[in-house]
Amino acid sequence: MPTTIRRGVADAAALSGRSLRHILRSPDTIVTTAVTPIALLLLFVCVFGGAIDTGGEEYVNYLLPGILLITVATGISYTAYRLFMDVSGGIFERFQSMPIARSAVLWGHVVTSVVANLLALALVLLVALAIGFRTGAGVLAWLGVVGILVLFTLTLTWLAVIPGLTAKSVDAVSGFSYPLIFLPFISSAFVPTAGMPGPVGWFAEHQPVTSIVDTLRDLFAGQPVGTDIWVALGWCVGLLAVAYLGAMRAHDRRVA
C-alpha cells in the first residue's frame, strides 16, 4: 500500500476513534436515534397492524425493513449535526491546518455514523424480535441484509456531510433529514403500493425506498430476491456517488 494512502487511512482511523469516544461517552445518542423508529414499530404493529392486509404475512415481518431504513435516516441527522458543530466551533479548520489527510475529518464522521447506526439498528431489531418478528434468513441472507443496510447508511451519511459543511444554523442542519425520514411512508414500507391512488402508487413503486425495502423483506423471509436487489443496489450506488462528489465539492470549497 502506498505511503500516502496508508497515512490517510491511519489519519481517518484516529479521527474515527475521536468521534466514537464521543458516542461512547454519550450512549443516549444511540437510544435517541432508536426511539422514533421503535415508537413507530410498536404503534403500527400493536395498533394498526390488524387492519392492514399484507397477504397473510405477519405485519411485524412486513414492517420491519422500512423501520430499519427510518432508523438510519434518523441517525444520520446526528452525523450532520456533529460535523456542523466541528465546523462552527473552529475544530474543523484546526484539523485542516494539521499535517493530516484533508478528507480524514470527513471519513472520521462517516465511520462513526456507520458504527452508531449499526448499534441503533441492532436495538430496533431486538425490540422487533420481542414483539414477534421471525425470520427464515440464512447466513448469506443476513450478510446481504447487513451489506445493504451499510451501503444505505453510507449513502445517507455522505448526503448528510453536505449540510454539515454548508448549513448556516443548527435548525437548517437538523431539518434536512425530515424528508428522508418521511420518504418510507410513500413506499411499500408500511402498506402494499397496489392500494395507493394512481400517481401516489406510481411514485411509491418507482422511488428507491421501495426496492430496498422489498429486497430486505425477501432476504428476511429467505426468498429469492429477483430483480429488486439490482434496482436497490443501483439506487444506493448511484446516490452514493452523487452524495460523495457533492460532499467533496462542499469540502473543497470550505477549505479553499
For the chain, 256 residues long, give each residue's pLDDT as a single digit of tens. Answer: 455 556 556 666 666 666 667 666 666 677 777 888 999 999 999 888 777 877 778 899 999 999 999 999 998 888 888 888 877 777 666 666 665 666 677 888 888 889 889 989 999 999 999 999 999 888 999 999 999 999 999 999 999 999 988 888 887 887 888 888 889 999 999 988 888 888 999 999 999 999 999 999 999 988 888 888 999 999 999 999 999 999 989 888 876 6
pLDDT for position 207? 92
| Amino acid occupying residue 253 | R
| Amino acid occupying residue 217 | R
Q: How many CB atoms lie within 10 A of CB 177?
A: 23
| 116 Cβ neighbours under 8 A, 6+ residues apart | 23, 29, 30, 33, 75, 78
Encode pLDDT of 162-213 as tens digits: 998 888 888 788 788 888 888 999 999 998 888 888 899 999 999 999 999 9
pLDDT for position 7? 57
pLDDT for position 60? 92
| 200 Cβ neighbours under 8 A, 6+ residues apart | 186
Q: Backbone dihedral region of 222: left (phi > 0), alpha (psi from -120 to 50 degrees) or beta?
A: left
pLDDT for position 250? 87
pLDDT for position 97? 63
